[in-house]
Amino acid sequence: MSWSKTLSDGLLRNQLGRLDQLQGYPELPARQQVMVKTLRQLADNSRTFLVDLITWFVDNAQTCPGPAELQERAREMRTAHQEQKPLGNPECEQCRGLGYYIVVRRVTLPRLEAYWATGAKRCGCAPPEEKKEN
Ligand SMILES: [Zn+2]
């Protein structure tokens, strides 16, 4: 088993240190250790997530968050991330990550005038559509 991806204490402490301008920043090593531990759990080995989390408090907070505030914010970030997650592959040229693309087709039905119909077609890069009841 490799632990190489685990975020280093140095990185975690570094990021925690960005909060030291905020009121209530923990000066005691024991309290900092609690924060580092919390950050490690919340970041879940994602350096980007860790940096984004700390940046949010640097930009928005007046007082230094405690573990509970960090957890709360991390949960909100994950929720927002899931909502924005594109359906398809962002690299896909067909749909540009939307997971579907617009198709136009000519519909010809007996006894009706032919017409053009547009619709969204599920792109091959997206997971299969869940079956809808109808
Ligand atoms: Zn696609």
Token pair belonging to 79 = 């929720």
pLDDT of residue 84: 66
CA 122 to ligand 1 center in whole angstroms: 8
pLDDT of 132: 60
In this prediction, residue 25 carries a pLDDT of 96
Task: Compute the distance from residue 96 Cα to the ligand 1 centre, in Å.
Answer: 6
**Amino acid 120: pLDDT:** 85
**pLDDT value at residue 22:** 95
pLDDT at residue number 2: 43
Long-range contacts: 37-42, Cβ < 8 Å, 24+?
38/67, 38/70, 38/71, 39/12, 39/15, 39/70, 40/6, 40/7, 40/12, 42/70, 42/71, 42/74
Q: What is the 46 CA–ligand 1 centroid distance (Å)? A: 26
pTM for this model (two decimals) = 0.60
What pLDDT shows up at residue 98?
Answer: 85
One digit per residue, the tens of pLDDT, for the chain of length 134 reads 444 467 999 999 999 999 999 999 999 999 999 999 999 999 988 999 999 999 999 999 999 999 999 999 999 998 876 666 678 888 899 888 888 888 888 888 888 888 888 888 889 998 877 666 65
DSSP 84-111: H--SS-TT-TTTTTSSEEEEEEEE--TT
What are the residue ranges spanned by the domains of the chain? 9-84, 87-134
Q: Ligand 1 centre from 1 Cα, in Å?
A: 35
